Homo-oligomer: A and B are copies of this chain.
Amino acid sequence: MTHRSPARGRPAAFRRTRADHQTEIAEDYVELIAELMEERGEARGTDIAQRLGVSNATVVKTLKRLQDEQLIRQEPYRAVFLTDAGQKLAADGRRKHAIVEAFLMALGVKPDVARIDAEGIEHHVSADTLDAMERYLRHQSTNKSD
């Protein structure tokens, strides 16, 4: 009773989407931490909460998880730091975000909408899709300068 479904029904896409979701929040946090450190020298739980639009308590809890996952380091009542792994994830996330956002704007989406959509989309683009977006950006800036 193998009962194999047609190709379009395979669960890979859904699995992948669910899996992405686990990383999404981690990525959002480390990205934000990197930004905050640039902007103001340190990332404090409260600032994260404010920026994310989430309660302080939630941030504390999530940071605990991120520490368990070795993405950040943290001492009580102190600012948060990224580990190497955390920095890598942050850099990656910011790169993706930047590409997606720039791409959407190049496509003609209004900047504020592009920002919001990019936030949602960035966690779901494969390397392939990112490449395609970059190609488009290069191509189109070439055209523009004619």
**Distance in Å: Cβ of A104 to nearest Cβ of chain B:** 6
Contacts of A114 in B (CB 8 A): 129
A50 touches B117 (CB 8 A): no
A98 at the interface (CB under 8 A from B): no
CA distance A31 to B73 in the complex (A): 42
Contact A11–B109 (Cβ < 8 Å): no
A11 near B132 with CB under 8 A, answer: no
The residue from B11, B21, B108 contacting A135, defined by CB atoms under 8 A apart: B108
Task: State the CA gap A128–B128 with chains docked (Å).
Answer: 23
A95 close to chain B: CB less than 8 A: no
Which listed residue (B9, B53, B117, B126) contacts A116, Cβ 8 A? B126
Pair A121/B119 contact, Cβ less than 8 Å? no
Instruction: Look across to chain B and name the residue whose beta carbon is closest to the beta carbon of A123.
Output: B120
B residues in contact with A92, CB < 8 Å: none
7 new A-B contacts at CB < 8 Å, known A11-B51, A13-B118: A13-B116, A14-B53, A14-B119, A17-B24, A17-B28, A114-B129, A117-B126
